[in-house]
Amino acid sequence: MPSLAYIGKLLYLCSKFDAKEVIMTALQLNADIYRNLGIIAEDQSMLDKVAKYLRRVVKQMTYDPTCMTKEEYFAMLDRSEAQYARGEYTTQLPGESVTDMLRRSGYDV
């Protein structure tokens, strides 16, 4: 029976899937997950732990403020370009640190 740590690592890979870094294809990874779930399905307590972990992973993914759709990303870029065109931007002064520039711009860092 696979350990909970192994299943956790497998689920973590699913949540951070990057085609350049993960050797398994999505189809292979999906098959591996289902195969392992079939093995632990006989143990109710282990299945409960996996379900609890999955809910936690999904919750983290759902509340990640950096996650956005392609449309949201391009809309953000359009808004930024419009701000720049209106002159609403800050430049870093020579010798000024990024932190100092952000403070000068009104950010709390």
22 and 44 housed in the same domain: yes
Domain with 96, as residue range(s), is 70-104
Within a domain: 109: no
C-alpha to C-alpha distance for 76 and 66, rounded to whole angstroms: 12
74 and 58 housed in the same domain: no
C-alpha to C-alpha distance for 43 and 22, rounded to whole angstroms: 29
pLDDT computed for residue 39 by the predictor:
86
* pTM reported for the whole predicted model: 0.37
Give per-residue pLDDT as tens, 3-51: 556 566 666 655 655 555 556 677 888 888 888 888 888 888 888 888 8
Give per-residue pLDDT as tens, 45-102: 888 888 898 888 887 776 667 778 889 999 999 999 999 999 988 899 999 999 999 8
46 and 75 housed in the same domain: no
18 and 58 housed in the same domain: yes
Interior/surface letters 69-106, b for 16+ CB within 10 angstroms, e for the rest: eeeeeeeeeeeeeeeeeeeeeeeeeeeeeeeeeeeeee
58 and 88 housed in the same domain: no
Number of domains in the chain: 2
12 and 51 housed in the same domain: yes
